[in-house]
Structure 1
């Protein structure tokens, strides 16, 4: 019989390389094993915290600065847990991306492990909800869930949600299992430098975003969306504000809305266009845009 761990990360910003807490609960014999839970704050090795993220989980640099960093937790705890169990997450683009991006950033030992997404399961089973966020799904199954974004509590709720979904006669575990590292990840200085340059040079602040007139401005969306905010929903919101959707990065582009995992090639192209004076493209973090709505 398979053993599982439900895992939840919170981050300092929209960047997946900034985890600040992790909660884990183990599932054995179709039950949560509360004797095998794990929680830790994490020092993200940056003092830059997104105010929107702070508003969600309440964690600041002062609260996590003495905590172990991801490198220490990976080597002492996380690596063995993900290797020995099937990992349950809600959305691949958040929690699995934290592991992938941090392994890449810190050049840690890559561990092949399997994971499963409750979001994907719920969609495939056509669960009767309007949105497939944790809150909506937990409400459907009468699972206690708080908007406080505490990793330990969210991991427990996630584990309970998985157990409820797995009761469906249509649920087949092998249908949903995925490899966390289906391809080799390339550790590249170009990747890290382009991310850093884009963040430092071109990302606008939330205060600046609130002053933007969207009318006749052009936008491209890159990276994964967040929970119930699909690309179509984001595009409709931009169009409703008078904006124009573009499909490619060019000198005529005004803004890139950056979801989770924006490719380094896009950021490198933006840097090249802006540095040459051919464009003045700004980057809007998706979390900022969602909060603006």
Structure 2
């Protein structure tokens, strides 16, 4: 049933390397079990942008256990269970890559994404976890703490399931029905009440990672060095270009960016974003809509 599931969240040191995990088990809509642990990353590398976001640094995890050492404690949360996550494609990829690294068999489970469900049923400013928490009046004090994010994700799922169930043309009785119903909305939502739901073309399983995007980094930045920003681009699947061209998707513009580069980017209709815009780009988890 809809109220029996496990919500998870990973925080990463860079790319898909986990440095913490939060797990919250819901039975009949109530929290019955929780698990949180810092994780010693596979190669002890940290992207400073990730550390700034999640507050976890190398010194925090140096003496912690690696993932394979905690797996025995958490495996039961995954075996034949329903797993909920916000932008689940990212969290499930982290899990799969980490299990594969340690040659651990991946258990069977079903996974569902609060991000994709929200994009299907709500018309709000954005679909970040924090925004959804505010929308549903769910208290969130420590954003990017894996345990709290997992808890909030679970509560959001329950709220959205009820909201979705009340708005669609026929009631749903299970998570399986919800998955089937939402995925049928790839083209257009059919609704009875448009107070919160809108018709939109929807691309399922979209991701906000930077795969296929080319960036040029120019200027001086307040929070990070250019090398840090370039590493963050590459860690998230993007490419770093040496000069602005028609193949450039974004220019990350800092102070003292040359006017010639700015003019060229404008003439080519290239998106010019700030350092903060870039950080938001790689941390928000919006699926793609058309």
Check whether TM > 0.5: yes
Partner of 1:218: 247
**Tell me, which stretches of 5 or more residues in structure 1 are unaligned?**
179-203, 222-237, 246-285
Q: Does 1:134 align with 2:129?
A: yes
Q: CA deviation at 1:23?
A: 0.8
Asked whether the equivalents of residues 219 and 243 of structure 1 are also in contact (C-alpha less than 8 Å), the reply is no
Partner of 1:103: 99
CA deviations on 1:203-249 (whole Å, 9 max, x unpaired) are x822668997753263479xxxxxxxxxxxxxxxx96594779xxxx
Partner of 1:206: 228
Deviation >3 Å, runs of 4+: 175-178, 207-214, 238-245, 286-291
Partner of 2:214: none
Could you tell me how far apart the structure 2 residues matched to 1:98 and 1:80 are? 18
| TM-score, scaled relative to structure 1 | 0.61
Q: 2:54 aligns with which of 43, 57, 70?
A: 57
Could you tell me how far apart the structure 2 residues matched to 1:100 and 1:88 are? 15
Partner of 1:116: 112
CA deviations on 1:44-95 (whole Å, 9 max, x unpaired) are 1222100000001111111111111111222x12322111421110112321
CA deviations on 1:245-265 (whole Å, 9 max, x unpaired) are 9xxxxxxxxxxxxxxxxxxxx
Aligned CA distance change for structure 1 residues 166 and 61 (closer, same or farther; 3 Å): same
Q: Does 1:67 align with 2:64?
A: yes
Partner of 2:9: 8
Q: Does 1:158 align with 2:149?
A: no
Aligned CA distance change for structure 1 residues 241 and 38 (closer, same or farther; 3 Å): farther
Partner of 1:21: 20
| TM-score, scaled relative to structure 2 | 0.61
Could you tell me how far apart the structure 2 residues matched to 1:150 and 1:288 are? 18
Aligned CA distance change for structure 1 residues 106 and 25 (closer, same or farther; 3 Å): same
CA RMSD of aligned residues (A): 3.3
**Tell me, which stretches of 5 or more residues in structure 2 are unaligned?**
181-225, 234-239, 251-263, 272-276, 283-290
Partner of 1:8, secondary structure, is strand
Q: CA deviation at 1:128?
A: 2.6
Asked whether the equivalents of residues 11 and 54 of structure 2 are also in contact (C-alpha less than 8 Å), the reply is yes
Partner of 2:78: 82
Asked whether the equivalents of residues 40 and 66 of structure 2 are also in contact (C-alpha less than 8 Å), the reply is yes
Q: CA deviation at 1:131?
A: 1.2
Query: What is the count of residue pairs matched by the alignment?
Result: 204
Partner of 2:64, secondary structure, is coil
